[in-house]
Amino acid sequence: MRINTLSLFALVSLVPTLVVASLSGSVGRLTSVSTKAARKTCNVLDHGAKADKKTDLGPPLASAFAACKSGGLVHVPPGDYAMKTWVKLANGNAWALQIDGTIYRTGTEDGNMIMIEHTRDFELFSSTSSGAMQGLGYEFHKDDKWSGPRLLRLWDVSDFSVHDFILVDAPSYHFSIDTCTNGEVYNMAIRGGNRGGLDGLDVWSTNIWIHDIEVTNRDECVTVKSPSKNILIENIYCNWSGGCGMGSLGKDTDISDITYRNIYTWNSNNMMMVKSNGGSGSATNLLFENFIGHGNAYSLDIDSYWSSMSSLGGKGVELSNIVIRNWKGTEKNGAERGPINIICPDGAPCYNITIEDFAMWTEDSSRPRQGYSCRSAYGSGFCLKPGSDSHHAPYPETTSTVSSAPSGYSAPTMAADLKENFGITVSIPIPTIPTSFYPGATPHSALMAHGH
């Protein structure tokens, strides 16, 4: 779906003025699939592929791409395919990749199973909304191996769409969007193992709209990395995951104009985490709005001394102009991990932070209390120190504790909330793409299988 910032006003009713602040221009593929298919269609079956779950799809896919890379449609029909060798599909223009079958990893090399690079006007999708890549990562993980291939990576791709596609059980990361521009990613399900290092969707790019996506794993749900500008992320279902985040942020961080909106997080590490330890640069103009959480270890966690990351030295990454608005729900244990943790670098205090309409409460009835912690953080709300300019002195961590629930913290759950994780030692089933990603929010685009 091609979208521009003007038509977003009709699609997003919450704080529309900030939509334009997030996206800087049009996003999505430029040429329709029907136009590309009419120009030329390259079926992988005509290039030696077989849907027998044994024949290597890699060479036929590369051959079909070579024939259709300059304005055509590469089609992987329904069926089960094995993929032993990875493909780098580079220097294409105005082409599409339609994967209606299921691709099973059989190779063991590192790298990226499918990598799209140096490409303009691209679309990857499943017309049935059931096409998938099954990474079978458990075959690595059960033997404590964590350096296998990533499933999908886009690098230096502009004006693109990825949608109606499923990624399952990557040996390593599932989906990376690297140095891309003007992209739209939507209607996806990503399901990985219950361990760190199995990221769902990582993005470091410019002018990207990511929406209506479910992620299950135990690391990044949808995470922004540096450098990134003008990214809108909304209607995200972190269903037993690591949670959404930014980072890890390091030297020369360059992030601005990022919106996370309508984020539902169930039984995850955190609802939103901004993590760093030392470094330099800045992240500014950030909006974290309409978050619902249940059963999560952390809620809002800005940690500039993240212990899982070795210190990079430097004064730290400066965070500024941040709005946290309309957070509801419960955390697992507020006495141990309160819902607000804003720990900023003493060498670069955070400033212009606003927390409003924030009501969360602990699920631990044996200890009905929760705390709020701040360090070198300035703004309005809870434990933040007042002040709005960038010239502030550092201050040590301060903590306040409350023992009564705030009004209005009650929030709905989702019917598809998982009862348990998928572990790391057995095959993870391929899910269907849900039609609901946040309570009460209608997806922006219907699934193709439902008449997109």
Under a CB-based contact definition with an 8 Å cutoff, are residues 423 and 194 in contact? yes
The 3-state secondary structure of the chain, one letter per residue: CCECCCCHHHHCCCCCHHHHHHCCCCECCCCCHHHHHHHCEEEHHHHCCCCCCCCECHHHHHHHHHHHCCCCEEEECCCEEEECCCEEEECCEEEEEEECCEEEECCCCCCEEEEEEEEEEEEEECCCCCCEEECCCHHHHCCCCCCCCEEEEEEEEEEEEEEEEEEECCCCCCEEEEEEEEEEEEEEEEECCCCCCCCCEEEEEEEEEEEEEEEECCCEEEEECCCEEEEEEEEEEEECCCEEEEEEECCCEEEEEEEEEEEEEECCCCCEEEEEECCCEEEEEEEEEEEEEEEECCCEEEECECCCCCCCCCCCCEEEEEEEEEEEEEECCCCCCCCEEEECCCCCCEEEEEEEEEEEEECCCCCCCEEEEEECEEEECCCCECCCCCCCCCCCCEEEEECCCCCCCCCCCCCCCCCCCCCCCCCCCCCCCCCCCCCCCCCCCCCHHHCC
Of 159, 164, 169, 219, which residue is the catalytic one?
219
Active site residue 219: yes
Of 47, 75, 294, 444, which residue is the catalytic one?
294
What residues act catalytically? Answer: 219, 294
